[in-house]
């Protein structure tokens, strides 16, 4: 017999006589009491609680005096009770000897936890004495699994999206570039042809901007990060966005003067904030308050409030909250997916939050949405904070040389034949001397045989030696050659961990003839 703290006596184990009864019982009682991580308790054959250990009190919140004698179905959710889950569990245990399962259970305070449950029938011969029940709180593990699953899903969608967008960029470079060349050739009096070309151009430009949004989600958009005073950027941005919101929406700013400096692409950050403001506006059709808050945040331990993939460190936190309709759990789980929208056709693209997500991740930060139906939404963006740093000013625009004055020699390295042909032709058109190479080793051979190259214009993603590796060799061997990168996307894990990009200029695909010309001239004249 084991005496438990509520003075009820139980026979346990029921069938076997203890060898040395006293010490065994005492040891067992201590063991049971000592277990804090599991709720271990007994039920009578009808399911009333007859014993309660410290673990049960800790997990479920009831003291033994409050719960002994009550029916164990109290721990189940109303939905589970209504569909007969507790009764089913007991019947199974009685018939088969045990029942195992997982599900949401209720604590005394009404909050839910994810329980792993084992119910064992206890018999003496044929007689059912009751049930031993072991419950573990698996909420944290379940949350981790869900978040992991979620991030794997996002990773997979990102891979796919990024791949498609990258290839589309190459195609669009050729389409846009050739349309651009055509439009310069067709005389103004051929109105019909000009219209046709213009329409095709506009459609390609829309396709290019869609591709850009997909790249943003896939964390592969070319970013131009620079140290930025987040408060200053926000105050400028708020002035701008105020004009685009209806009067029924008021804007509140809460500024932590110590919020700090983050290394971000300012345009993309403004773009992300705008996407959040538009979502907030849509969520508050009858008006409300949009709050934009900054904070200087240090993450050292992990709890449920910070994104699970956020590394310990110093962050600038930007929170954007609204008092709108909020999100259901289902919407919350899918909100970042590209093309996921709950808005009517023509109102939502489903690309707003995916841009924010991709941009923040690519910047080395993290993001979390806190939202409940009818309780508004808060989106928290964590950007890595620079410990010190100077805020760089906008660089002055270079004056472009007039067309026709270009006589520099340019080595074009591009593996895509169409893109290379278009690029070479465009540069020849502007009067440059052009040499082409389809990969890095060809490029290096050209450089060895002909040293009078002024500019290397290279794709980053090349088969074999990639563009970055080519450039590091060229910079070492031919330090006078200027360099301009091009890419369908920037393959950099985070701007803070690789500083090459801000130093070497990049012309993102797709580019038009004139963008190519401007890009090349800017590098040649800098
Ligand atoms: P879109 O706004 O084009 O629908 P988003 O990617 O910006 O695409 O958002 C995806 C979905 O997430 C929205 O359709 C909406 O259901 C939900 N959502 C986003 N922001 C909010 C918000 N502030 N409040 C409520 N729901 C939101
Ligand atoms: Mg949106």
Which residue has the CA at smallest separation from atom 25 of ligand 1?
326
80 lies in the same domain as 168: no
**Rounded Cα distance, 516 and 177, in Å:** 10
Asked if the structure places residue 404 within a domain, the reply is: no
- Total domains, the chain: 4
Residue 200 parent element (H or E):
helix 191-217
Rounded to 5 degrees, what angle do the CA atoms 390, 393, 397 make?
Answer: 150
358 lies in the same domain as 421: no
CATH of the domain at 244: 3.30.565.10
Show the domain range for 309.
Answer: 226-386
**Rounded Cα distance, 217 and 353, in Å:** 9
Rounded to 5 degrees, what angle do the CA atoms 109, 112, 116 make?
Answer: 125
89 lies in the same domain as 187: no
377 lies in the same domain as 452: no
Q: Give distance in angstroms: CA of 206 to centre of ligand 2.
A: 18
Asked if the structure places residue 11 within a domain, the reply is: no
Given 200, 217, 234, the domain boundary residue is 217
Given 352, 386, 420, the domain boundary residue is 386
Residue keyed to tokens 């056709």: 345
The answer, yes or no, to whether any atom of ligand 1 lies below 6 A from the CB of 271, is no
Asked if the structure places residue 317 within a domain, the reply is: yes
335 lies in the same domain as 446: no
238 lies in the same domain as 377: yes
Quick count: other Cβ atoms within 10 Å of Cβ 1?
Answer: 9
Q: Give distance in angstroms: CA of 152 to centre of ligand 1.
A: 21
The answer, yes or no, to whether any atom of ligand 1 lies below 6 A from the CB of 353, is yes
CA-based diameter of the chain, in Å?
A: 110
Predicted confidence at residue 77, as pLDDT, reads 95
Give the single-character DSSP code of 16: S
User: Which residue among 353, 375, 380 has the greatest number of ligand 1 atoms within 8 angstroms of its CB, and so is best to mutate?
Assistant: 353
As a whole number, the mean pLDDT across the chain is 87
437 lies in the same domain as 505: yes
User: Which residue among 210, 216, 292, 335 has the greatest number of ligand 1 atoms within 8 angstroms of its CB, and so is best to mutate?
Assistant: 335
Question: Which chain residues have CB less than 5 Å from ligand 2, an ion?
Answer: 279, 352
Q: Give distance in angstroms: CA of 493 to centre of ligand 2.
A: 26
Asked if the structure places residue 202 within a domain, the reply is: yes
Euclidean distance between the first and the last CA atom of the chain, given in angstroms as a whole number: 90
263 lies in the same domain as 353: yes
Predicted confidence at residue 400, as pLDDT, reads 43
CATH of the domain at 71: 3.30.450.20
Given 344, 371, 386, the domain boundary residue is 386
Predicted confidence at residue 397, as pLDDT, reads 38
265 lies in the same domain as 130: no
Query: What's the order of all strands across the beta sheet hosting 433-437?
Result: 433-437, 409-413, 455-459, 482-487, 506-508
- Alpha helix stretches (DSSP H) within 253-389: 266-283, 329-334, 352-362
Predicted confidence at residue 280, as pLDDT, reads 96
Asked if the structure places residue 393 within a domain, the reply is: no
Predicted confidence at residue 492, as pLDDT, reads 44
Ligand nearest to the CA of 342: 1
242 lies in the same domain as 359: yes
pLDDT beneath 70: ranges in the chain: 1-22, 302, 388-406, 451, 490-502
The answer, yes or no, to whether any atom of ligand 1 lies below 6 A from the CB of 275, is yes
**Rounded Cα distance, 139 and 104, in Å:** 9
Predicted confidence at residue 52, as pLDDT, reads 94
**CA 259 to the chain's CA centroid:** 22
The answer, yes or no, to whether any atom of ligand 1 lies below 6 A from the CB of 350, is yes
């Amino acid at each position: 017999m084991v005496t438990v703290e509520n003075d009820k006596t139980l026979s346990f184990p029921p069938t076997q006589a203890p060898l040395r009864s006293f010490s065994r019982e005492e040891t067992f009682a201590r063991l049971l009491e000592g277990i804090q991580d599991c709720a271990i308790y007994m039920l009578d054959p009808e399911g009333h609680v007859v014993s309660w250990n410290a673990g049960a009190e800790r997990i479920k919140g009831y003291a033994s005096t409050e719960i002994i004698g009550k029916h164990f179905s109290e721990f189940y959710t109303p939905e589970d009770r209504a569909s007969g889950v507790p009764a089913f569990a007991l019947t199974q245990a009685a018939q088969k000897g045990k029942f195992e399962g997982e599900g949401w259970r209720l604590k005394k305070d009404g909050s839910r936890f994810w329980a792993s449950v084992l119910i064992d029938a206890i018999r003496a011969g044929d007689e059912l004495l009751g049930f031993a029940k072991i419950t573990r709180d698996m909420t944290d593990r379940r949350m981790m699994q869900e978040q992991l699953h979620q991030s794997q899903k996002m990773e997979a969608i990102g891979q796919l999206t990024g791949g498609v967008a990258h290839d589309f960029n190459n195609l669009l470079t050729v389409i846009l570039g050739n349309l651009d060349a055509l439009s310069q050739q067709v005389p103004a009096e051929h109105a019909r042809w000009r219209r046709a070309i213009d329409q095709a151009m506009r459609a390609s430009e829309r396709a290019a901007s869609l591709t850009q949004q997909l790249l943003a989600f896939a964390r592969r958009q070319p970013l131009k990060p620079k140290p930025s005073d987040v408060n200053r950027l926000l105050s400028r941005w708020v002035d701008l966005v105020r004009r685009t919101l209806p009067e029924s929406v008021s804007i509140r700013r809460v500024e932590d003067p110590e919020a700090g400096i983050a290394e971000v692409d300012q345009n993309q950050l403004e773009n992300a904030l705008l996407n959040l403001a538009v979502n907030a506006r849509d969520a508050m059709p009858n008006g409300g308050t949009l709050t934009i808050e900054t904070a200087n945040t240090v993450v050292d331990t992990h709890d449920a409030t910070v994104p699970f993939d956020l590394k310990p460190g110093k962050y600038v936190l930007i929170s954007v909250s609204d008092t709108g309709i909020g999100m259901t759990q289902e919407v919350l789980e899918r909100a970042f997916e590209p093309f996921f929208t709950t808005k009517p056709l023509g109102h939502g693209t489903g690309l707003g939050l995916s841009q924010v997500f991709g941009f923040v991740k690519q910047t080395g930060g993290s993001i979390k949405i806190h939202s409940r139906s009818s309780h508004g939404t808060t989106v928290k963006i964590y950007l890595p904070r620079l410990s010190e740093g100077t805020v760089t000013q906008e660089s002055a625009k270079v004056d472009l040389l007039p067309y026709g004055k270009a006589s520099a020699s340019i080595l074009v390295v591009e593996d895509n034949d169409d893109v290379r042909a278009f690029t070479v032709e465009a540069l020849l058109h502007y009067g440059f001397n052009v040499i082409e190479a389809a990969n890095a080793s060809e490029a290096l051979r050209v450089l060895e045989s002909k040293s009078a190259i002024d500019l290397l214009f290279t794709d980053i993603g090349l088969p074999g030696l990639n563009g970055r590796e080519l450039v590091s060799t060229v910079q070492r061997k031919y330090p006078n050659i200027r360099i301009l990168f091009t890419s369908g996307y920037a393959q950099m894990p985070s701007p803070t961990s690789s500083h090459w990009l801000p130093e070497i200029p990049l012309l993102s695909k797709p580019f038009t003839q004139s963008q190519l010309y401007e890009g090349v001239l800017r590098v040649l004249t800098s």
